[in-house]
Amino acid sequence: MNWLDIFLMAFQAIVRNKLRSFLTALGIIIGVGSVVVMVHLGQSATQSVTDEIASIGSNLLFVMPGTAQRGPGGVRSIARPFELDDAEAIEREVPGILVAPALTSNATVVFGNANETIAVIGTNNNYFIVRNHALAHGREFEDSELGAGSAVCIIGTTLVEEMYAGQQPLGTTLRVGRTACRVIGVLEKKGQSMGQDRDKTIVMPIKAVQRRLVGKLDVQTIYVSALVDGTTRTVQRDIESLLRQRRRVASAADDDFYVRDTQDIAEALASTTNTLTILLGAIAAVSLLVGGIGIMNIMLVSVTERIREIGIRLAIGARTRDVLMQFLVESVALSTLGGLIGLILGVAGTWLITTRMNMPFLLSPAVMLMGFSFAVVIGIVFGFFPARKAAHLNPVDALRHE
């Protein structure tokens, strides 16, 4: 008996019971489909997080007050905020870096009839380089404006679209909080990231935000960018020792601030999404297993229904292994077919979801191969018992079966 004949036989049996075969394969279709979708979405999420962080700026360090520990609920211990002096000291003492102190405050922004609440970032000109967000039109802040905390601002493209409706924003005056603020520049478009519109922003001199919006001389975050690749570790260490001195942290005590590298953040987020991917993949794999049990169930029914047929085959000279192969190939064909359809639906589903969610659509051959071969293996494993049952029937009893 050659393989082609065995396959044809299985194929005929599957076609003969179209609805039943489809329902049986459906378990595998859903199983493979969900494994493919889940794992691909997980990988996409990881990828988009990584891309995100690269776009924040390379060689970037975040210096923030507080401790790095994230307890339950993400609560951090409250520590003394930074001041502009700290940022200046870092710039003075640590070589080869750009420093941008920043303070963010939400403010109501009004232009004409339009008004919106927007995060206003107070900083200096280094911000545009350090955060990798350059100007499209207009000019940066002048030293005198930075020194005096003048009411000037550079705005993101979303604001231009939403509030100006096609008007030229340069030279106009926006009301930010209670301050009338002259627009001197427009930022380049950066697009959405992780559900956040990075173009819905206003940048002002930090002193302007401190005095006119917040009313305190705090600095929330100090962005530091190492000018030379590969020096972030050294820079990080230098900043840490400098700040410990300035903030008089006892040598035994933990830092009351933390310096985070974008790499660290990327790794932390990636490991979170990876864990999630594994979890979702495992749940999907369980559904694949359930699909396998469905195959076994239907194959057992099929064997019982076809006992007489098996008897005929045995009588005309089918050996144990011929019957075994016939039923095994049938179940493997069902699971393979299901796996194939599941794969196609899984890829389609991944595409649909990633495009809707603005995530990168990437396919991993390893994941697809794994999902598919898992389906084939399930067909073998769960088809074996029913096939064995069929193959070991006694010919006389099988022929007598009604």
Partner 1 sequence: MRGIYKIYGTGAAEVRALDGVDLTIRDGEFVAIMGPSGSGKSTCMNIIGCLDVPTAGEYLFRGVDVAGLDRDELALLRRHFMGFIFQSFNLLPRVTAVANVELPLIYDGVKRATRRARATEALRTVGLAGRESATPNQLSGGQQQRVAIARALVTEPPLLLADEPTGNLDTAMSDGIMVQLDRIRVERGITIIMVTHEPSVARYAERILHFVDGRLVKDGPPAAILP
- Exposure string of 296-320, with b = 16+ CB inside 10 Å and e = fewer, is bebbeebbeebbebbbebbeeebee
| 330 in Cβ contact with 8 (< 8 Å) | no
In sequence order, which residues have a C-beta less than 8 Å from that of residue 389 and are 6 or more positions away? 300, 303
| 179 in Cβ contact with 128 (< 8 Å) | no
90 three-class SS:
helix
Q: Name the one range near partner 1 by CB under 8 A: 9-17, 21-29, 106-114, 235-243.
A: 9-17
Q: Which residues from 227-266 bind partner 1, rule CB under 8 A?
A: none
| 151 in Cβ contact with 208 (< 8 Å) | yes
In angstroms, what is the minimal distance from the CB of 320 to partner 1?
A: 6
Distance CA 396, CA 311 (A): 7
If one asks whether residue 389 binds partner 1 (CB under 8 A), the answer comes out as no
If one asks whether residue 217 binds partner 1 (CB under 8 A), the answer comes out as no
**Three-state DSSP string of 258-317:** EEEEHHHHHHHHHHHHHHHHHHHHHHHHHHHHHHHHHHHHHHHHHHHHCHHHHHHHHHCC
In angstroms, what is the minimal distance from the CB of 39 to partner 1?
A: 41
Nearer to partner 1 among residue 7 and residue 351 (C-beta)? 7
| 297 in Cβ contact with 27 (< 8 Å) | no
Nearer to partner 1 among residue 108 and residue 394 (C-beta)? 394
Nearer to partner 1 among residue 189 and residue 401 (C-beta)? 401
Nearer to partner 1 among residue 314 and residue 334 (C-beta)? 314
Q: Which of 54, 290, 293, 315 binds partner 1 (CB under 8 A)?
A: 315
Q: Which of 1, 54, 278, 357 binds partner 1 (CB under 8 A)?
A: 1
Q: Which of 106, 108, 320, 358 binds partner 1 (CB under 8 A)?
A: 320
In angstroms, what is the minimal distance from the CB of 5 to partner 1?
A: 5
Q: Name the one range near partner 1 by CB under 8 A: 129-137, 159-167, 258-266, 390-398.
A: 390-398
Look at the block and give the residue holding tokens 């659509």.
Answer: 361
In angstroms, what is the minimal distance from the CB of 321 to partner 1?
A: 7
In angstroms, what is the minimal distance from the CB of 309 to partner 1?
A: 6
If one asks whether residue 18 binds partner 1 (CB under 8 A), the answer comes out as no
In angstroms, what is the minimal distance from the CB of 298 to partner 1?
A: 18
In angstroms, what is the minimal distance from the CB of 15 to partner 1?
A: 10
Task: Output phi, psi for 178, to 5 deg.
Answer: -105, 15
If one asks whether residue 308 binds partner 1 (CB under 8 A), the answer comes out as yes
For residue 330, the surrounding DSSP H or E stretch is helix 320-356
In angstroms, what is the minimal distance from the CB of 394 to partner 1?
A: 8
If one asks whether residue 387 binds partner 1 (CB under 8 A), the answer comes out as no
| 54 in Cβ contact with 188 (< 8 Å) | no
Question: Two tokens at 372?
Answer: 């598919």
If one asks whether residue 317 binds partner 1 (CB under 8 A), the answer comes out as yes
In sequence order, which residues have a C-beta less than 8 Å from that of residue 178 and are 6 or more positions away? 212
Distance CA 156, CA 371 (A): 44
Q: Which of 130, 313, 330, 342 binds partner 1 (CB under 8 A)?
A: 313
Residues of this chain that interact with partner 1 (CB under 8 A) are 1-2, 4-5, 9, 12, 16, 308-309, 311-322, 394-396, 399
